[in-house]
Amino acid sequence: MNTYGKFAQEAWRTTAPAEYALIPDPDQWFEQLGEEAAIRVEDLTTALAGPDPVGESFLEKWGRLNAAKLQAEEIVRAEMLTPDPSVQEEPEEEDEEESGVARMLQAIQESNREDREYWEEVNRLDAEQA
């Protein structure tokens, strides 16, 4: 199972245990989801990076491609790897480690939401200028 599948499995197990319990073969399901997520990240990275600008240096290209991959991973995490907020449960406060993971997931989801809103605004402004 790749890192995307592992992330998704932990996110579902932690924040939506009732929904997670309904999955007949979680390991196989999350392995497949991880593979689909990796393909989506690759496709989004290419789209977000765009063509190579003329005169771009090695470091500029590396930075552009790295930023595109990070953005693609944020989008995929939000769209594919975390359960819908409507099925998420509050973590039990007695388990320090679990509540820490849940807080981390919530921070990632909030960051992803803000990122989506930003890019929607950028796309809207680009469309207005076109």
Q: Name the percent of the chain in helix, strand, coil, to the closest 5.
A: 80, 0, 20
Mean pLDDT over 87-105 rounds to 65
- Whole-prediction pTM value? 0.65
> For the segment 19-72, what is each residue's pLDDT rounded down to a tens digit?
899 999 999 999 999 999 999 999 999 999 999 999 999 999 999 999 999 999
Q: Is 38 helix (H, G, I), strand (E, B) or coil?
A: helix
Q: Looking up tokens 């480690």, which residue turns up? A: 97
Tell me: pLDDT of 90 over 70: no
Residue 81 and residue 8 in contact, taking contact as beta carbons nearer than 8 Å: yes
Residue 75 and residue 112 in contact, taking contact as beta carbons nearer than 8 Å: yes
Give the orientation angle of helix 58-76 with respect to helix 96-129, to 10 degrees: 110
User: Which run of H or E residues covers position 103?
Assistant: helix 96-129
